[in-house]
Amino acid sequence: MRSKKKSKNKLKLWLFQQYLKLQRIWIFLEKENFIRLVILIVAIVSLSTIGIYLAEPDISLIDSLWWTIVTLTTVGYGDITPVTTIGRLIAIIDMIIGIALLGVFSATLASILIDQKIKDDLGMNSYQFENHIIICEWNYRAETIIKELRIDPKIQEKPIVLIADIEHKPLEDRHLFFVRGQVSDETLSQANLKAAKTVIILGDDKLDYKNRDAKVILATLTVESINRSSYTIVELVDKAYVPTCRRANADEIIVTSQLSSRLISKAALNHGISEAVSDILSYEYGSQLYKVPLPKSEVGLNFIDVFVRMKQTDQAIIIAIQKGQEGNVISNPPSEYKFNENDYLIVIAASEKAGVFNKALSDI
């Protein structure tokens, strides 16, 4: 019963989304005068059809419509031919209008498509996506992030909106959309922040460390003031700004300099660690990190029992537990830890298990 209700809600949501898409297309076409052109074509076809029907006694209304469309599109099959003087006069007018209309229609359509492409490339469009990802700022790390995300089957076709003060869209990606400018209320509105699921705020490499982190914190405050429900991931350089960023309500803070320094020191003490970490963090090869909901059948079981079961059946290793979908994380839990209903498992598993774990996430 619950599953049926869930399916109905999904169907209603899908229908509503399609309605919104059609509404946006209509508004866009109306703005580009395309609707007026279509109305003009319909009016010409109607007048020509009625004219031929009245002028030619042997041609039916359906045949008149057929003849009008064939003549206006300059096809001219010749299966129906006007014989009266008025009918032939209408035919001459239709031929001239048909050539003109075809040119105007083609030019208008091409103009709309080219204009849309130019606006997309220059970051001038607004978008109405839902549950999408927004990336603020462009640098070499942003490019790597997008490429890594696209390897994940769940994200391959998910819209990603990039907000950056650069001249052109930086990557050829069908599902990457560009908004030009600094992070502000206006650009975030263009990216439809209110409906975004995740926001990634990166540092501006053109600035020094202090100003870079200050700009990131300001962007975080702006994002959180508009949509507190979106999950905000923030990149900092100096760990001294972490408390300030937490007060700005960032959900996850990554201090890149600290991470790289720690990894280098660990690699110096334990050779090969950096290779293992790179293998786990990359989607391209080797094992991956996944977060999956705890199966209901395993609520109340000890950590060690679930650990052994997952290793034997899924070749997966549990490295941490998260209390709820966005709660606190317990790394390397004790063997006697008892699982709760809302727990999530953070696991390392082979890339070929991606389909299994992604399905588990989609069923949440």
pLDDT (tens digit per residue) in 122-174:
888 889 899 999 999 998 899 989 988 888 778 888 999 999 999 888 988 88
- CA 305/CA 151 separation, integer angstroms: 32
Report if pTM > 0.85: no
Q: Does a structural domain hold residue 62? A: yes
Whether residues 250 and 329 fall in one domain: no
**Structural domain of 256:** 133-260
Whether residues 105 and 215 fall in one domain: no
pLDDT at 364 over 50: no
**Which has the higher per-residue pLDDT, 35 or 300?**
300
Domain final residue, candidates 260, 295, 318: 260
CATH number for the domain harbouring residue 78: 1.10.287.70
Whether residues 139 and 244 fall in one domain: yes
Lowest-confidence segment of 23-27, 230-234, 315-319 by average pLDDT:
23-27
Whether residues 256 and 296 fall in one domain: no
Alpha helices in the chain (DSSP H): 2-31, 34-55, 61-72, 85-122, 140-151, 185-190, 209-226, 242-247, 256-269, 273-281, 303-314, 354-362
pLDDT at 358 over 80: no
Whether residues 141 and 115 fall in one domain: no
Tell me how many domains the chain contains.
Answer: 3
> What is the percentage of the chain residues whose pLDDT exceeds 90?
34
- Reading the block at residue 31, the tokens are 């703005």
Q: Would you place residue 362 in the very low, low, confident or very high pLDDT band (cuts 50, 70, 90)?
A: very low
CATH number for the domain harbouring residue 306: 3.30.70.1450
Whether residues 318 and 356 fall in one domain: yes
Dmax (CA) of the chain: 99
pLDDT at position 314 is 83
Q: Does a structural domain hold residue 154? A: yes
**Which has the higher per-residue pLDDT, 24 or 234?**
234
Whether residues 185 and 254 fall in one domain: yes
pLDDT at position 279 is 79
Over the stretch 63-102, which tens digit does the pLDDT of each residue have?
889 888 888 876 666 677 888 888 889 888 888 888 887 7
Whether residues 98 and 140 fall in one domain: no
- Reading the block at residue 109, the tokens are 């359509």
pLDDT at 26 over 70: no
- CA 348/CA 85 separation, integer angstroms: 83
pLDDT at position 361 is 46
pLDDT at position 262 is 82
Domain final residue, candidates 209, 244, 260: 260
pLDDT at 329 over 80: yes
Whether residues 256 and 346 fall in one domain: no
Whether residues 84 and 61 fall in one domain: yes
Q: Does a structural domain hold residue 204? A: yes
